[in-house]
């Protein structure tokens, strides 16, 4: 396992979604230090932790572990985005990030 590459993929997506390490650690129910160790490749993780990371960051486990990535968008979404201007795509990306963050927060609420 290339733990450094795995950690890099996790960190990149965490930052992309706008989570601080502390917020991410809270969602994972681990310490920020453990998150840091994972992102730096200093520590591995259990399968349950990998599954939580996958769900929170909305990444497939194959991508987290091996960097294999299927098409980023479903076909209908890709077709919609193709018809947008660059500025509209940026706006759509911001809206989608906000929506995904809200949905993740809602799922983790009691």
- Residue range 2-56, pLDDT digits in tens: 999 999 999 999 998 899 999 999 999 999 999 999 999 999 999 999 999 999 9
Q: Which of 17, 71, 76, 11 is nearest to 40 (CA)?
A: 11
Confidence class of residue 1 from pLDDT cuts 50, 70 and 90? Answer: confident
Using DSSP's 3-state secondary structure scheme, residue 41 falls into: coil
Residue 29 CA to its chain's centroid (Å)? 16
Name the more confident of 7 and 110. Answer: 7
């992102």: which residue's tokens?
Answer: 39
Q: With beta carbons less than 8 A apart as the criterion, state whether 2 and 64 touch.
A: no
Q: What is the pLDDT, as a whole number, of residue 5?
A: 96
pLDDT at site 74? 54
Is the Cβ–Cβ distance between 38 and 31 less than 8 Å? no
Kindly report the CATH class assigned to 1-70: mainly alpha
Domain limits of the chain? 1-70, 72-110
């Amino acid at each position: 396992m290339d733990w450094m590459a795995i950690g890099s993929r996790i960190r990149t997506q965490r930052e992309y979604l706008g989570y601080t390490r502390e917020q991410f650690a809270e969602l994972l129910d681990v310490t920020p230090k453990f998150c840091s160790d994972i992102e730096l490749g200093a520590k591995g993780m259990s399968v349950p932790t990998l599954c939580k990371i996958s769900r929170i960051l909305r990444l497939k486990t194959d991508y987290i572990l091996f960097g294999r990535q299927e098409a980023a968008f479903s076909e209908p979404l890709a077709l919609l985005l193709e018809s947008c201007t660059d500025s509209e795509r940026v706006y759509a990306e911001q809206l989608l990030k906000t929506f995904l963050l809200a949905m993740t927060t809602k799922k983790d609420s009691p």
